[in-house]
Amino acid sequence: MPDPEGRMSSAEVDFIRTWILRKHKGTMPTCPISLDQIWMVVPQVQQALVYPVSTVTWLPQTAYPYVQVICITCGYAMRFNAAIMGLFPPPVPPTKTEESDAKE
């Protein structure tokens, strides 16, 4: 699991590369822009934010971290859900009470 600041170890970065290779049947994906297969794993877990937060009534309490993989040639980026990849435990679905409270 990444450290409290979201930094990943070299073993975790290698895990991500292996995960992508396994999911893409043994090869790195081809970038849709540059057509290269040279990718860099950003060694920091990220999280997308929605602005302005105060106007979003459906925003869940749980954040979903992601991993970004960038084409070295052109900068095209792919994002993968870090929990689905196995870097974090899967998110716990909200209870019925939490769901109804969020709708009010």
pLDDT in tens, 4-40: 888 999 999 999 999 999 999 999 999 999 999 999 9
Predicted TM-score (pTM) of the model is: 0.73
In angstroms, rounded to a whole number, what is the distance separating the alpha carbons of residues 76 and 32? Answer: 8
Total length of the chain: 104
- Residue 70 per-residue DSSP state: E
Whether residue 104 has pLDDT greater than 60: no
**In contact, 91 and 61? CB cutoff 8 Å:** no
